Amino acid sequence: MNIPAPNYTIPNLVLPPGDLWVFGYGSIMWRPGFEHEECCPGRVFSYHRSLCVWSWVHRGTRARPGLVLGLDAGGSCQGMAYRIAADQKAEVADYLYSRELVTDGYQALLHHVHLATGVVTALTFRANRGHPQYAGRLDHRHAADVVGSARGLSGANPEYLDSAVRQLQAMGITDGRLHKINAMVQGRPR
């Protein structure tokens, strides 16, 4: 994949000592793109998964934006937590910054993730509500229309949404809103 030169502000995060945990709630769940020592379900509080970020690069363009998942304020979100060995954490963090922060549509942060074995601090990416790529909550039909016609450097937007829904189903997670939008998109001719 050819990712354009980053146009982001490098986060001023001090990574925790030892191994690095990464929390994925979108494409990182089914396509992490990095080696990890461990992978397990986790949950963050104070944020929920939402189709709330306009995609100008990976699943759309500026002329025809797509929609991708972001962590948005409120609620909780189940996802996957990945443990990266301490000697690989800088490399993985750099990879994730270049993948997720192609623009400033997301903000990197360290957040508590609740695992079956306890709480860890993990690197994750939330929607940047102050950026023009923040779409907020769109009605189902509008979201389906956007997703159904968008394509970016990483592929078609309908494939992204379908992959997200399939991953959530495999994890036993029901997200009625995403399932409904996906059904609307998949039921239309492409």
Instruction: Report, as residue numbers or ranges, the catalytic residues.
Output: 100
Backbone phi, psi, residue 165, to 5°: -65, -45
User: Residue 145: is it exposed, middle or buried by C-beta count within 10 angstroms (0-12/13-18/19+)?
Assistant: middle
Q: Which residue type is seen at 163?
A: S
φ and ψ of 171, to 5 deg: -90, 0
Contacts of 158-167 with CB under 8 Å at 24 or more apart are: 158/185, 158/186, 158/190, 160/27, 160/58, 160/59, 160/66, 160/68, 161/51, 161/67, 161/185, 162/186, 163/27, 163/30, 163/31, 164/26, 164/27, 164/29, 164/30, 164/69, 166/30, 167/29, 167/30
Residue 171 in contact with residue 77, Cβ under 8 Å? Answer: no
